[in-house]
Amino acid sequence: MDESFIDLSINYDQSSSVFTTCSSKSNASFEFPIMESNSSDYAIHHLLTKLESKSIEERKQAALNIRLLSKDSNDNRLKIARSGAIPSLITLISSDDRQLQEYGVTSILNLSLCDENKNLIVSSGAITPLVNALRIGTTTAKENASCALLRLSQIDENKIEIGRSGAVPLLVKLLKVGDIRGKKDSSTALYSICSIKENKIRAVQAGIVEILIDLIADLESNMVDKAAYVLNQVISIPEAVSAVVENDGIPVLVEMIEIGSDRQKEIAMEILLKICEGSSYRSLVVREGAIPPVVELTQCGTSRGKRKARTLLQILRQVRTGYMAAEISDVSF
């Protein structure tokens, strides 16, 4: 199994160290001769011709060789794109042959690693076929389609088209039912795509909050950090806050502050701060026992964590002061 890693370089607080990789892989059940990476323009043109063959096996061979040529070489990625291969590869993604579809998806993913190719890939109509691969492709095709959409979403205007193409519910489904690679790839894509409000709404409507809460609560999921950062990405809309409460997410976040790593404690506090921006759920956070662990973090957390803890503590103590005042008022009567 081939696997290459992509540096996402998403600059959001500490999230760049959480979302550091997204894998490109292929489950080839047969092998074809591998061409040298310093291929000539003639060799690439030959492969482009093979992509148009009536023979499925010849198209598979051509797509596999393009995938291999574009795996590590940025020069080859540019040459292949400039040769006109992208529309033919996109056509493969719509194939009924699942292996051919998988090779097409993986080739497009590899070409998308070159920033200069992203606009051409989108303008050639890749988004809808990639979303379709998310829906009906092999496990590998779904994971690589997720990664390709992630790469394309790094151009902000593409996030709207990706969201409106139906990608978000399918990524949420992959987050729920995928294997660990699928969960990681889909969460990374969702983190990027859900930086805009309309995609946050789509994700919440697709049930992402319940899935994220379950992953955060499961310390053995190997997804705690990623799930927490995605939750922090969507929590800015009221629908997400309500969903956290409805799915018993407050005690999960409080427990994360109690027993999590420094990074987990900080992101949990940031989520709770956003939840407490409105007054509706502040008392619930207090009742779930948030004050003692937050007090502890004002004294022994990281510098960043201490600042967040002090801010959250100030809000929560206002709630407790309100309780005490209400009790005194009841006694006076």
Does 322 score more than 60 pLDDT? no
What's the mean pLDDT when you consider all of the chain? 87
In order of their start, the domains of the chain are: 2-247 (1.25.10.10), 257-333 (no CATH)
Q: Report the C-alpha gap between 188 and 312 in whole angstroms.
A: 28
pLDDT of residue 49: 93
Q: Report the C-alpha gap between 33 and 314 in whole angstroms.
A: 66
Burial class of 255 by CB neighbour count within 10 A (0 to 12, 13 to 18, 19+)? middle
Q: Are 159 and 153 in contact (CB under 8 A)?
A: yes
Higher pLDDT residue, 195 or 320?
195
Q: Taking the complete model, does pTM exceed 0.85, yes or no?
A: yes
pLDDT of residue 320: 64
Give the mean pLDDT of 192-214: 98
pLDDT one-digit tens code per residue, 107-142:
999 999 999 999 999 999 999 999 999 999 999 999
> Please, which pLDDT band fits residue 17 given cuts at 50, 70 and 90?
low
pLDDT of residue 3: 36
Give the mean pLDDT of 252-266: 95
CA geometry: angle at 50 spanning 44 and 52, to 5°?
115
pLDDT one-digit tens code per residue, 142-190:
999 999 999 999 999 999 999 999 999 999 999 999 999 999 999 999 9
Strand partners, 4: 24
% the chain with pLDDT above 70: 84
pLDDT one-digit tens code per residue, 284-316:
999 999 999 999 999 987 888 899 999 999 999
Contacts of 195 (CB under 8 A, 6+ apart): 156, 159, 233
> Please, which pLDDT band fits residue 229 given cuts at 50, 70 and 90?
very high
